[in-house]
Amino acid sequence: MTTLTTEPLTAADRCDRCGAQAYVRVVLPVGELLFCGHHSREHAPAYADIATYIQDETDRLLAEHGAH
Residue 33 maps to a domain? yes
| Neighbouring-strand partners of residue 27 | 32, 53
Label residue 15 by pLDDT band (50, 70, 90). very high
Number of structural domains found in the chain: 1
Q: What is the pLDDT of residue 1?
A: 43
> For 22-54, what is each residue's pLDDT tens digit?
999 999 999 999 999 999 999 999 999 999 999
Residue 44 maps to a domain? yes
Residue 29 maps to a domain? yes
Residue 23 maps to a domain? yes
Which residue segment(s) compose the domain that 52 sits in? 12-57
Residue 31 maps to a domain? yes
Residue 67 maps to a domain? no
CA distances from 13 to 1, 49, 55, 68 (A): 28, 24, 13, 23
Residue 39 maps to a domain? yes
Q: What is the pLDDT of residue 64?
A: 75
